[in-house]
């Protein structure tokens, strides 16, 4: 383990050595002097990481290209090297993950074992989930605690502190011949809740913005960046566009993205008291970011996992349900959700196949309850039933 600038060596275990893991989280940890231990289940990726002492993170944009060289890492297979991983976790300063919100339950047991074996003289490790989901670290913490013996829960906070985060940087799927290198946009934002570290210093990770109230940041991010991105991707997929950039060249789609962001901006400004002008400028910036011509971001990546994206707290139903309840307009969000319901049986996307099955077998009301998590009492319920009925009827033609 090497120290940077003579500082104490620091160690981070990061679950998920994929796009955001290698390209953003590990890059920031490395630049802050941490040794990074990647934990993943993809054996070829682990072998490559262990065989190659460095990889490049390449930032692309209108301003040109810059490169970061990442070193001082190792990789562990979390399926086959459990004991080794537990030992690394037990002495880590930080545990992060970017595996996808549905995978958190699978990584929790090994983290629970690592935390439980933490030597008493070490201060609590920081656990930060870096997923696109509201309260992802809380979700992970819940699974970790379920996997911890009851007798060890009382002083669990002496061993681990859990902080929610909002992480924003567009990292598209990489060229098959890129190896470990990651191409991504220059912009980044990583906002983390400071409050769980009361009485301790926050982990010294350069680039993190520490805040006392995370909710406005994560809702603004998910309901602007991800709503806009997904709106472009689902409309784009249904109009046979290849990338989000291509989709945004289409006037109709561009208009739908703007309308959807005007709707979510209403929620963000009214619910969180964010200034209208500030939110308008933020939304403009997001439209520019998702339309970055250098990124080649395929609509299939951005639309991946439609069941997750159509769920209750996610980028369409979350804001639309809130707006409908308050009698505000949510037409563009509904139009985008309809396009998401049409994202069925897409190659290499298991959820899109499951969506097709549910749409074939269930009534519209069952679909809306099951996928969107809405109840009959909510004002959005009948609107979604209408949409699902239309998509089902079109499939019969
Ligand atoms: N790519 C982006 O632009 C971006 C930006 C912000 C947040 N995110 C979020 O980060 C998360 C990951 O996204 P990504 O684009 O990096 O995806 P990805 O598919 O590139 O990476 C996910 C990685 O997790 C690994 N993995 C899967 N199951 C695992 C397990 N049980 N244990 C350990 N590793 C496992 C996969 O092998 C893969 O390497 C998602 O929640 C996503 O929403 C992505
Ligand atoms: O990662 P997902 O599947 O939740 O959403 C797809 C993209 O919108 C997302 O990965 C963005 O690129 C990212 O959230 C930008 O910060």
Using the structure block, give the residue that is written with the tokens 């537990």. 86
Q: Which atom of ligand 2 is nearest to the CA of 229?
A: 8
Spacing, Cα 155 to ligand 1 middle (Å): 31
> What are the distances in angstroms from CA 228 to CA 19, 211, 265, 266?
20, 25, 11, 14
Q: Is the distance from CB of 73 to CB of 37 less than 8 angstroms?
A: yes
Catalytic residues: 221
Helix axis angle for 380-396 and 317-325, nearest 10°, is 130
- Per-residue pLDDT tens digits for 193-205: 999 999 889 999 9
pLDDT of 2 above 70: no
Domains 10-212 and 216-396 share a fold: no
> What are the distances in angstroms from CA 282 to CA 9, 197, 228, 277, 338?
38, 29, 12, 9, 26
Region 46-73: mean pLDDT is: 96
Give the right CATH number for 216-396 from 1.10.1040.10, 1.10.10.10, 3.30.70.3280, 3.40.50.920: 1.10.1040.10
Tell me if ipTM is over 0.95: yes
DSSP single-letter state for residue 226: I
Task: Say what the pLDDT of residue 111 is.
Answer: 98
Using the structure block, give the residue that is written with the tokens 């997750």. 308
Q: Which atom of ligand 2 is nearest to the CA of 230?
A: 8
Domain ranges of the chain: 10-212, 216-396
Q: Is the distance from CB of 176 to CB of 44 less than 8 angstroms?
A: no
DSSP single-letter state for residue 222: I
Spacing, Cα 16 to ligand 1 middle (Å): 6
What pLDDT band is residue 8 in, cutting at 50, 70 and 90? low
Region 144-159: mean pLDDT is: 98
Least confident of 93-97, 170-174, 188-192, 198-202: 198-202
Region 6-24: mean pLDDT is: 91
Spacing, Cα 22 to ligand 1 middle (Å): 10
Alpha helices in the chain (DSSP H): 19-20, 26-31, 43-51, 82-90, 104-116, 136-146, 215-220, 227-238, 244-249, 251-272, 276-290, 299-303, 306-309, 317-325, 331-341, 350-361, 364-372, 380-396
Task: Say what the pLDDT of residue 397 is.
Answer: 83
Return d(Cα 274, Cα 118) in angstroms, integer: 41
Nearest of 373, 283, 397 to residue 321 by alpha carbon: 373
Task: Say what the pLDDT of residue 63 is.
Answer: 86
DSSP string, 286-297: HHHHHT-TTS--
Task: Say what the pLDDT of residue 1 is.
Answer: 38
- Per-residue pLDDT tens digits for 283-298: 999 999 999 999 999 9
The tokens describing 8, both together, are 């104490």
Please name the residues in contact with 156: beta carbons below 8 A apart, sequence gap of 6 or more.
115, 145, 148
Q: Is the distance from CB of 17 to CB of 42 less than 8 angstroms?
A: yes
Mean pLDDT of the chain: 96
Alpha helices in 117-274 (DSSP H): 136-146, 215-220, 227-238, 244-249, 251-272
Using the structure block, give the residue that is written with the tokens 């409050």. 195
Region 382-391: mean pLDDT is: 98
- Per-residue pLDDT tens digits for 337-380: 999 999 999 999 999 999 999 999 999 999 999 999 999 999 99
- Residue minimizing CA distance to atom 1 of ligand 1: 171
According to DSSP, the β-strands at 94-97 and 64-70 are: unpaired
> What are the distances in angstroms from CA 67 to CA 64, 181, 187, 209?
10, 10, 14, 23
Residue of 17, 18, 106, 299 to test ligand 1 pocket, by largest number of atoms within 8 Å of CB: 18
Region 307-324: mean pLDDT is: 98
Q: Which residues line ligand 1 (CB under 6 A)?
A: 15-21, 39-42, 45, 78, 98-101, 103, 106-107, 131-132, 167, 169-171
Using the structure block, give the residue that is written with the tokens 């509904």. 334
Region 108-135: mean pLDDT is: 97
Please name the residues in contact with 19: beta carbons below 8 A apart, sequence gap of 6 or more.
171, 172, 173, 174, 182, 184
Task: Say what the pLDDT of residue 4 is.
Answer: 44
- Residue minimizing CA distance to atom 43 of ligand 1: 132
Spacing, Cα 230 to ligand 2 middle (Å): 8
| Phi and psi based region of residue 380 (left: phi greater than 0; alpha: psi -120 to 50; beta: remaining) | alpha
Question: pTM for the full model?
Answer: 0.96
pLDDT of 155 above 80: yes
CATH superfamily, with its number, for domain 10-212: NAD(P)-binding Rossmann-like Domain (3.40.50.720)
pLDDT of 121 above 60: yes
Q: Which atom of ligand 2 is nearest to the CA of 133?
A: 4
| Phi and psi based region of residue 305 (left: phi greater than 0; alpha: psi -120 to 50; beta: remaining) | left
Task: Say what the pLDDT of residue 29 is.
Answer: 98
């Amino acid at each position: 383990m090497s120290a940077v600038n003579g500082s104490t060596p620091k160690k981070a275990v990061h679950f998920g050595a994929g796009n955001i893991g290698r390209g953003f989280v590990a890059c920031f940890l490395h630049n802050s002097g941490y040794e990074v231990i990647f934990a993943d289940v993809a054996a070829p990726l682990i072998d490559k990481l262990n065989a190659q002492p460095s990889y490049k993170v390449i930032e692309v944009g209108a301003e040109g290209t810059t490169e970061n060289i990442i070193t001082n890492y190792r990789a562990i297979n979390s399926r086959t090297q459990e004991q080794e991983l537990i030992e690394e976790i037990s002495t880590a300063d930080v545990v992060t993950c970017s595996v996808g919100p549905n995978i958190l339950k699978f990584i929790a047991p090994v983290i629970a074992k690592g935390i439980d074996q933490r030597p008493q003289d070490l201060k609590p490790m920081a656990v930060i989930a870096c997923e696109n989901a509201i309260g992802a670290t809380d979700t992970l913490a819940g699974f970790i605690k379920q996997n911890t013996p009851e007798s060890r829960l009382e002083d669990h906070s002496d061993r681990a502190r859990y902080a929610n985060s909002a992480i924003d940087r567009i990292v598209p799927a990489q060229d098959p011949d890129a190896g470990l290198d990651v191409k991504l946009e220059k912009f980044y934002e990583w906002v983390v809740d400071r409050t769980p570290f009361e009485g301790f210093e926050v982990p010294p990770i350069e680039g993190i913005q520490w805040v006392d109230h995370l909710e406005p940041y994560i809702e603004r991010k998910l309901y602007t960046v991800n709503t806009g991105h997904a709106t472009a991707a689902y409309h784009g997929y249904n109009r046979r566009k290849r990338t989000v950039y291509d989709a945004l060249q289409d006037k109709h789609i561009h208009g739908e993205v703007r309308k959807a962001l005007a709707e979510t901006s209403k929620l963000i400004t009214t619910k969180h008291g964010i200034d209208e002008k500030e939110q308008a400028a933020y939304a403009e910036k997001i439209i520019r970011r998702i339309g970055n011509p250098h990124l080649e971001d395929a609509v299939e990546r951005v639309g991946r996992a439609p069941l997750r994206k159509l769920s209750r707290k996610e980028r369409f139903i979350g804001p639309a349900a809130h707006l409908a309840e308050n009698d505000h307009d949510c037409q563009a969000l509904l139009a985008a959700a309809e396009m998401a319901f049409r994202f069925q049986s897409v190659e290499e996307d298991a959820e899109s196949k499951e969506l097709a099955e549910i749409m074939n077998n269930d009534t519209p009301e069952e679909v809306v309850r099951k996928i969107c998590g809405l109840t009959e009492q909510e004002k959005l319920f009948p609107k979604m039933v209408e949409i699902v009925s239309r998509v089902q009827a079109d499939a019969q033609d």
